[in-house]
Structure 1
Amino acid sequence: MSGMVVVVAAMFAAACGRVERPAERRAEPERVPLRETAQCLRDLDAQGIAYRRLPDKATGPGCGLYGTVQLLDIGVPVNNLTAVRCGAARAFSAWVRNAAVPAAYQIMGSELARVDTMGSYACRNVVGTAGIGNRRSGHALANAIDVSAFVLKDGRRISIVGDWNTPDPATRTFLQTVRRSACRRFGTVLSPDYNAAHRDHLHLEDDHAAFCR
């Protein structure tokens, strides 16, 4: 009799829409091993990167801040960054200092004054890819940074949305150069060449996926 009650209750719940579908479930956010974060922090210290360590916390279903920092000074001003997972912060700092800075000077003939971003942390799903389902974005773990533009000391602003397909050969070479360098430092790098959702930024994610588009 009790088995029949369970079956009826399950059928009633399904009819009322209260049964959670498998596709709606989201795993708990991945936590970074303490030793990995400790080594990353030592690397930032060795590189002279100024940062503030942030407390670990869950922020929503499948979202959380674990092993994150706030970058305060990497040698070049960067805007719109809040929490960034330490590994992504380490890769980003090295990319700006060792790739974007020399590329700006050597290719564009001006020093790099600022990097504009669209942020790092956002508790949301992947967007812009059909059939991806409700998979969480790397931004949900603060493990990705979206770069929108590079500002030069001579006043020029090289934006992804405005200059990716520019007829100016130097600007195109600069943007392709920084993307290639990013692909050597980040697991996933997505650009306007990937899809329309990335028409205005470079998505840089520290996920070891070896996917560069």
Structure 2
Amino acid sequence: MSLSVLKRFLLIVGVFALASCSSREKPQSPRPTASMPSENARQCLAGLKSKSVRFAGLPNKTFDGGCRMIDTIKVMDFGIAATNMGAMTCPLASNFTDWARYAVVPAAKRYLGSEVVKIETMGTFNCRAIAGSRSGRLSEHAFANAIDVSAFVLRDGRRISLLNGWRGSPEERAFLRRLHQSACKRFGTVLGPDYNAAHANHFHFDMAKSMRNGTAFCR
């Protein structure tokens, strides 16, 4: 093989090697996608506005591993302070704010004799698999379609946490179980401290129903 032919051969091999390396690289940052909300999302957003929920729309994004934020919003105000309110699908935001207003507020007055001034959450969007599961299936958190609630702060200064209150005083137990029962009527999936150790310190709410029969899963 002549020297010129050998040089051309090595050049071609080098080009293919670089192309092969590039094809294996995966982008690490979120990729923006079209941000025009769907018709269902527009109807849901109109419903939120009619209920005096203040929110801001967020850009659509997709992530490596299948995680995504599509038609999501950030709830700014709905009359009750809440922590860690990140990206949420509109149906999740609508049901959560209704649950807070029409279940949490009256239950606190009935069972605890005080007013809830803050709901503490552990967040919404999180690109991860289902906690405590061996299946590796993505959590609804990976689609901004879930929220975890950990505690409630009352006007009189008390803080009722799931970790301590679920088996706390009779009043705390009654309050938290009433909230669990109410949530089961609003969300597709509700998991609490009795479900497994991974949920000992919070309620998990999401809008996905059982894949088996399409009904709510409440534990």
Q: Distance in 2 between matches of 1:101 and 1:183?
A: 17
- Residue 144 of structure 2 corresponds to residue 138 of structure 1: no
In structure 2, the residue corresponding to 1:80 is in which secondary structure? coil
CA drift of 1:70 comes to 0.2
Q: Which of residues 189, 199, 218 is equivalent to 1:212?
A: 218
CA drift of 1:85 comes to 0.9
One-letter code of the match for 2:115? E
One-letter code of the match for 1:138? E
Q: Distance in 2 between matches of 1:81 and 1:106?
A: 26
The 5 A counterparts of 1:189-208 are 189-208=190-209
The 5 A counterparts of 1:9-158 are 34-129=38-133, 131=134, 133-158=135-160
| Structure 2 equivalent of residue 175 of structure 1 | 176
Contact 1:54/1:68 (<8 A) preserved: yes
In structure 1, the residue corresponding to 2:41 is in which secondary structure? helix
Question: Could you say what the CA RMSD is over the residues aligned between the two structures, in angstroms?
Answer: 1.5
Q: Distance in 1 between matches of 2:96 and 2:141?
A: 14
CA drift of 1:60 comes to 2.4
| Structure 2 equivalent of residue 9 of structure 1 | none
Structure 2 spans left out of the alignment, 5+ residues: 1-35, 211-215
**What's the CA shift string for 1:31-86, capped at 9, x where partnerless?**
x9811111110110010000001111102221010010000001100001110111
Q: Distance in 2 between matches of 1:64 and 1:107?
A: 39
Q: Which has the higher contact order (CA 8 A, sep 6+)?
A: 1
Large movers: runs of 4+ above 6 Å? none
Question: May I ask how many residue pairs the two structures share in their alignment?
Answer: 180
Q: Distance in 2 between matches of 1:60 and 1:141?
A: 12
Structure 1 spans left out of the alignment, 5+ residues: 1-31
Q: Distance in 1 between matches of 2:53 and 2:209?
A: 23
